[in-house]
Amino acid sequence: FTDPDDGINEGLRDRLRGLIGTRRSGGSGPEYEEFLVEMEQRGVDFLSEFNVLAFDCLFFVSKAIECDLAQGGDARGTSLLDCILNSTHDGLTGTISLDENGDRQLLGTPLDLVNFRSSNQLDRGEQSFTFDAVGTYTERAAGDESDPIEEDESTVIVWPDGSNKVPDFPSVFDPPSQTYEKYTDPEVLVFIVLLFLLSLITLLITAIVLYSITNTVIKSTGIVYNLTILFGVFMGCYVIYPFIEKPSDELCAWRPWVAIVFFVIEGTLVAKQLFIWFTHWRRSADEKKSLLTIDYPWWVTIAAVSILLA
């Protein structure tokens, strides 16, 4: 929240004022209180929730090491990993256990509900800001209908307008419903028909190119080049289908690869045109004139124009 030139970033602070969020609990219970007393005796006058989490983490891993050594392991490798994943430790921040992904299970573990407040909202006068715990949130098991939120009656929540009254949140915060194009939509049907006709035209042009494979123009541009362009145009006529109706996860993962067809075709086209330009630029004036006087058959001209239009 600090601006290097002006100190406190006023704009960011104003936008965050009244925010409600969660964070790991800094600890609770008799053992936590004893821990605070011991730390104070050791000269530690400030502890954040990260310090307490680090303390719990150290003992959690130590317990897993003891487990591995007791089973004849050497506190390393997969045997230690298995002990870590299957260990449970009642720490200062609650019970610590991991799921199959190695993440801490939050079920039954309280999280602090924090309220971002500026000091002037709390009538302290100075322009500063704090994250104050105003309660806890505990994820409940399925079927447990108890309230997961427990408010701290000794504190009050300051909302963005500066009051302590819970605002009426508008429906704009509800996520918008996702809509998808359908095969029955008129505009989709028209688009599909046009693309199908274009694919037939592309196949016709491909047949003409293959029939005229010995033609000077076809040979000079390269049969592979022509077929690559036509293949890309043909495939481009059908890339619309993955984007109709609600897609599956597999289809969503495949969608970006559709763009490769266009990149390959456009890249091939640009590379070819640059090569032609470079070759033409190095010719003499007479040679350039001779290039313009070649008598192409009319159907080759139509094929070339059709390829460009496609």
Domain ranges of the chain: 2-173, 186-309
Please give the residue that has the higher pLDDT: either 79 or 277: 79
Out of 74-78, 165-169, 194-198, 240-244, which region has the weakest mean confidence (pLDDT)?
165-169
- Mean pLDDT (whole number) for 211-237: 79
pLDDT value for 193: 92
How confident is the model over 85-102, as a mean pLDDT?
83
DSSP 239: T
Separate counts of helices (H) and strands (E) for the chain: 11, 8
pLDDT on residue 121? 45
**292, two tokens:** 């313009």
pLDDT at 173 over 90: no
More confident residue, 109 or 44: 44
Average pLDDT (243-261) is 80
Mean pLDDT, the chain, whole residue set: 75
**DSSP labels for 241-306?**
GGGSSPPPHHHHHHGGGHHHHHHHHHHHHHHHHHHHHHHHHTS-HHHHHHHHT----HHHHHHHHH
Whether the predicted pLDDT of 3 surpasses 90:
no
pLDDT of residue 204 exceeding 90, the answer is yes
CB atoms within 10 A of CB 262: 14
Does residue 118 surpass a pLDDT of 70?
no
Q: How confident is the model at residue 129 (pLDDT cuts 50, 70, 90)?
A: low
3-class secondary structure, 181: coil
pLDDT the model gives residue 294: 46
pLDDT reading at 293 higher than 50:
no
Which residue's structure tokens are 């033609």? 215
pLDDT given at position 184: 87
Report, in angstroms and rounded to the nearest whole number, the Rg of the chain calculated over CA atoms: 35
Local structure of 78: helix, strand or coil:
helix
| Cα gap 49→25, rounded to integer Å | 6
